[in-house]
Structure 1
Amino acid sequence: MSLQSYVSHADQWEQRATIRSRPRRIVEDDDLSYYPVERQPLYAHPAVIDAGREVQDYILLQSFYKYINDVIIFETEIVNRTALAIAKSRFPFEFPFACRSDAMSVVIDENYHAYVAMDYLDQVERSTGIGPIEQNREIELSRAIPRAMEYVPPQYAAGMELLGVAISENTVTAEVAAFSRDTTLKRSVKGVMADHLADEGRHSVFWINLVKLYWSEIDETARIELGRGLPFFLREYLTNELQLEFDRRLIGTLDLPAATRERIANDMVGAYPITNQHPMIVNIRKFLKMAGLLEHEPTRAAIAQYL
């Protein structure tokens, strides 16, 4: 891809952006869930099943609060930082106006997603009468991107940030798509996720094309250094530490005997295995191929363990 061949998504944004075309999503009173059962192993723990539906529903509700809080952090503190730098020509690479304009539309979309999420969380809390437990103040990317930026030579730090954001945006898009198809979830939850997906699908293409353009224009030394940084980023990104920290806090709030809570916590240590067949890795693999990074032999060799 060349600087001249980039095609803006401005027309699509004008017609389809959710900020222009979607109604407010209102929580409904039904027996459907806020969060997918298969994403929270705690729900199926024998001791939790024995405790009854109320405890299980509480676990799903708190998991939903965490997920949405993580999305807000991701969009407002991570994606928008990079997108805004590109939009305002603060990124150390000369992207054409079409890229910068599209980046600004991403900033608008992500802030709107955060607004919708905050509104919906407030509705849920008022509807259930149950507020969120203490939330994580960071997500995996809050650690992975800065650490990966420090790992590469300073002149390539911004490029590492771009790759990290682009990879994660494509991973999130796949997660949101799975949410929007889940028949066990409340219609309003699926609606919020479907609206989000309508924008994230466009964002996914934007970040793929942006990285493809950037990768084709930088020199070989930059490609080699960024390729070396990728496995470091992926190791930091593909962890379950923060999820386990949250689950331990959640278990601690359950109305169960202390010995039962301790047993559940001990059983959850291996509950989130990340193997080569994990959906996140499958999506990352697809992104790297579509963005052209796997055509670069040194980069492909550096990340061979994930291929």
Structure 2
Amino acid sequence: MMTLQSYKSHAESWEQRATIRSRPRRIVEDDGLHYYPLERQPLCAHPAIVDAGDAVRDFILLQSFYKYINDVIIFETEIVNATALKIARGRFAHDFPFACRHDAMSVVIDEDYHAYVAMDYLRQVEVHTGVAALAANHEIELSRAIPRALERVAPPYRDGMELLAVAISENTVTAEVAAFSRDTTLKRSVKGVMSDHLADEGRHSVFWINLVKLYWSEIDEAARSALGETLPVFLKEYLSAELQLAFDRRLIDALDLPAATRREIAGDMVGAYPITSQHPMIVNIRNFFKLSGLLDHAPTRAALASVL
């Protein structure tokens, strides 16, 4: 069980390793490699897209990259930082010690820097390719999932629900960024941006897990039960593919293909993002629950059985 005495601050590590202190600017290069992994965009596997050739495929991957970067900016500045700053400034409903609040402020700095780097690199890519991004979503799955989960718990437990939601998503994103940084089909600069991001997110992952451990150890059984019962509501919304499918429909409409072909592709996209028990997001979420100790709580374990 995490206690105040066993919590270890990452302040010294941050001073030495934070990317804002130690990484160069990443510059886009012309190396013929992709901006986005083929395996993450099911559209590229559609026979009509394959037959359309490399130009159409590359346009899809480029627009998917733009969306991913925009989603990262929303996630880090509007969601993670909102919670981290609340903790850092002592405005969270639970009284965390200084070490936790100090570490939370370093997360705020890191995430704002990640968004800054993402904006810079996105602009470089637009200039380099001459292709502007399509209209982006103004929200991500978490933008809907967190408020809907908060509606389901009593006011005293809402900050706790927010903490759990952000901790789950931060650990999921860390695994996604790691997969990007290892992909040999991607441009070196894309992998560099993702590797830099990963250097910080690994530290964040541990921070959020430890914060949840500490929080969970200090709340009462009523709070644990209320939060555990609501976690499946959050996960259902978080794992929705609705916004991704909406983006893909806009992307299909923008392809330089006959209208009949575009209609065929759109019709085949239903169910293109199945979330099964073996999906990487589910695996990452399950690992988070194990590491954070939430599955040691029988009512929470029972509530999560239906989604994990």
* TM-score interval, smaller chain: over 0.9
- Written as runs of structure 1 = structure 2, the 5 A alignment for 1:217-256 is 217-256=218-257
After TM superposition, which residue ranges in structure 1, 4 or more long, deviate above 4 angstroms? Answer: none
Instruction: For residue 270 of structure 1, report the CA deviation from its aligned partner.
Output: 1.2
Q: Which residue of 2 aligns with 1:112?
A: 113
What is the Cα-based RMSD across aligned positions, in Å?
Answer: 0.5
Matched to 2:43, the amino acid is L
Secondary structure class of the residue paired with 2:306: helix
**Which stretches in structure 1 are left out of the alignment for 5+ residues?**
none
Secondary structure class of the residue paired with 2:215: helix
Q: Which residue of 2 aligns with 1:290?
A: 291
Matched to 1:164, the amino acid is A
- Written as runs of structure 1 = structure 2, the 5 A alignment for 1:1-307 is 1-307=2-308
Structure 2 CA distance, aligned partners of 1:217 and 1:289? 18
Structure 2 CA distance, aligned partners of 1:17 and 1:237? 29
Structure 1 CA distance, aligned partners of 2:142 and 2:94? 23
**Number of matched residues?**
307
Q: Provide the identity percentage.
A: 79
Contact 1:62 1:132 in 2 (8 A): yes
Matched to 1:218, the amino acid is I
Structure 2 CA distance, aligned partners of 1:77 and 1:125? 24
Structure 1 CA distance, aligned partners of 2:290 and 2:118? 32
Instruction: For residue 49 of structure 1, report the CA deviation from its aligned partner.
Output: 1.1
- TM-score, normalisation: structure 2: 0.99
Instruction: For residue 44 of structure 1, report the CA deviation from its aligned partner.
Output: 1.4
Matched to 1:261, the amino acid is R
Matched to 1:108, the amino acid is I
Cα deviations by residue, 1:62-121 (Å, 9 ceiling, x for unpaired): 000000000000000000000000000000111000000000000000000000000000
Matched to 2:224, the amino acid is R
Structure 2 CA distance, aligned partners of 1:51 and 1:280? 31
Secondary structure class of the residue paired with 2:36: coil
